[in-house]
Amino acid sequence: MAGITTERIIALHAAYIRCIDRNELESWPDFFLDPCLYVVTSAENHRAGFEGGMIYADTRGMLTDRVMSLRDANVYENQSYRHIVGLPYVIRNGGEGTETETPFMVMRIMHDGKTDVFATGVYLDVVRAAGADLKFKKRVVVCDSSRIDTLLALPL
Amino acid sequence: MAGITTERIIALHAAYIRCIDRNELESWPDFFLDPCLYVVTSAENHRAGFEGGMIYADTRGMLTDRVMSLRDANVYENQSYRHIVGLPYVIRNGGEGTETETPFMVMRIMHDGKTDVFATGVYLDVVRAAGADLKFKKRVVVCDSSRIDTLLALPL
Amino acid sequence: MAGITTERIIALHAAYIRCIDRNELESWPDFFLDPCLYVVTSAENHRAGFEGGMIYADTRGMLTDRVMSLRDANVYENQSYRHIVGLPYVIRNGGEGTETETPFMVMRIMHDGKTDVFATGVYLDVVRAAGADLKFKKRVVVCDSSRIDTLLALPL
């Protein structure tokens, strides 16, 4: 596979967070290949070499199940979220996929307008072209904070 | 019109927030075509389909008037602002203009150094080439929070 | 010198903050030419025209010394940091170097997971190609806040 341009990687990140922040979660699994690897973990666990995480999915179906359970829990009723993604760092481009690291921050906006920092961290991604699109073969979301309870409320 | 590159859209966003954060508000209307559409609204009102907003301007002259009234009110005396703009998502490129969605965050720094989140949201833009430059035909600033009072203090 | 692409400038910024946020400070001086200029100052001092700053270094050796003293002070023991860098604004491209302004924000994550805004500001950079890499000839870090004590704990 030839290398992927930064422009296309930027477009993928922008589309991904737009999907989540517009609360179009049903489309979120489409950003992944099937099978895939989607893990949410903490920096502490990641440094310690733990492969698992607070959230672990390795098929698109598991991602879809997750969306359904979030819908059941109505987590979006009283708050909204805003992702800001930083500039992607390309570790490796071409061959089996393009590997990137990209910092992110998520703000949470409560119903009364109060806004706080919900999460910060870094996306460790492996991206591949699938037809005209790019998709995630692997997305490991490493959250800086270990307060895990709040991190379970939405896709990151 | 041919499509506009992501590189040029990034340059436009970077120049726009630099103008505001450097407090060069008198140059701010130059980022817009004339006539134009500049609206600041809340996510709640935007979802409900309200066309108006807390701030509404459809000529460059109205933007200039707004800057003059902000200058009269001396809003910049005791605080400064820092915009961080995320990666732009291109919805449509070419034809009558390029349509993009771009998340943003604004931090407010008080005179004593205290820093808080002033606003988060998304820019819904239509951009067109005007000579060598890009300008906004339309910029709808959708703020995540509905606390409108604080949002009136500076251009977003 | 020919102009430098936005893509390469983005890659430089992404690599720089990754180095810091991964706590690989020993590699941080490699991002600079030798001699160089690295200054951390406040917006207030910068506006007043003061050339110095809270931190001033004009050789790579001084940057290395700084890392060693940070290591001695163990500042990383109880917190971590997350930089988010905004879109770069290119002031001048080519000739003696490429001059850019780039907003940034740094979040601090305490050991207990509490996250706050550590610093916001703008990087005023002059960048030059050095072989295959880009390096900073000059990086003036202008912090929006004048609370200087907290700004001394890590490279910005």
The pLDDT tens digits of the residues spanning C64-77 come to 999 998 888 765 56
Residues from B in contact with A at Cβ < 8 Å: 5-7, 43, 84, 86-90, 101-105, 117, 120-122, 144-147
How many Å lie between the alpha carbon of B42 and the closest alpha carbon of chain A?
10
What mean pLDDT is reported for chain A?
Answer: 89
Q: Under a CB-based contact definition with an 8 Å cutoff, are residues A51 and A37 in contact?
A: no
How many Å lie between the alpha carbon of A3 and the closest alpha carbon of chain C?
14
CB contacts, 8 Å: B134 with chain C: none
Confidence (pTM): 0.92
pLDDT at B114: 86
Question: What is the arithmetic mean of pLDDT over C136-144?
Answer: 96
3-class DSSP assignment, residue B10: helix
Q: Note whether A144 contacts C80, CB cutoff 8 Å.
A: yes
pLDDT at B151: 58
Assess whether pLDDT exceeds 50 at residue C1.
Answer: no
Q: Under a CB-based contact definition with an 8 Å cutoff, are residues C115 and A117 in contact?
A: yes
- Segment B1-5 long-range contacts (CB within 8 Å, at least 24 positions apart): B1/B94, B1/B95, B1/B96, B1/B97, B1/B128, B1/B129, B2/B94, B3/B93, B3/B94, B3/B98, B4/B93, B4/B98, B4/B127, B4/B129, B4/B134, B5/A7
pLDDT at C16: 97
Q: Under a CB-based contact definition with an 8 Å cutoff, are residues A21 and A80 in contact?
A: yes
Residue whose C-alpha is closest to residue C115's, from A38, A47, A108: A108
Contacts of C39 (CB under 8 A, 6+ apart): C51, C52, C53, C55, C56, C57, C139, C140, C141
Assess whether pLDDT exceeds 90 at residue B51.
Answer: no
pLDDT at B147: 77
pLDDT at A63: 96
CB atoms within 10 A of CB C69: 9
| B150 or C50, which is more confident | C50
Q: Under a CB-based contact definition with an 8 Å cutoff, are residues C117 and C105 in contact?
A: yes
Percentage above 90 pLDDT, chain C: 61
CB contacts, 8 Å: A117 with chain B: 117
b/e map of A41-55 (b: 16 or more CB within 10 Å)? bbbbbbeeeeeebbb
What are the tokens at B9?
Answer: 């859209």
Question: What is the arithmetic mean of pLDDT over C22-31?
Answer: 95
Residue whose C-alpha is closest to residue B107's, from B16, B17, B13, B9: B17
What mean pLDDT is reported for chain C?
Answer: 89
Best of A6, A85, A107, A110 to mutate (most B CBs within 10 Å, chain B)? A107
For chain A, list residues with pLDDT below 70: 1-2, 74-77, 148-152
How many Å lie between the alpha carbon of B15 and the closest alpha carbon of chain C?
6
pLDDT at C111: 84
Distance CA C11, CA C3 (A): 15
Residue whose C-alpha is closest to residue B126's, from B22, B35, B53: B35
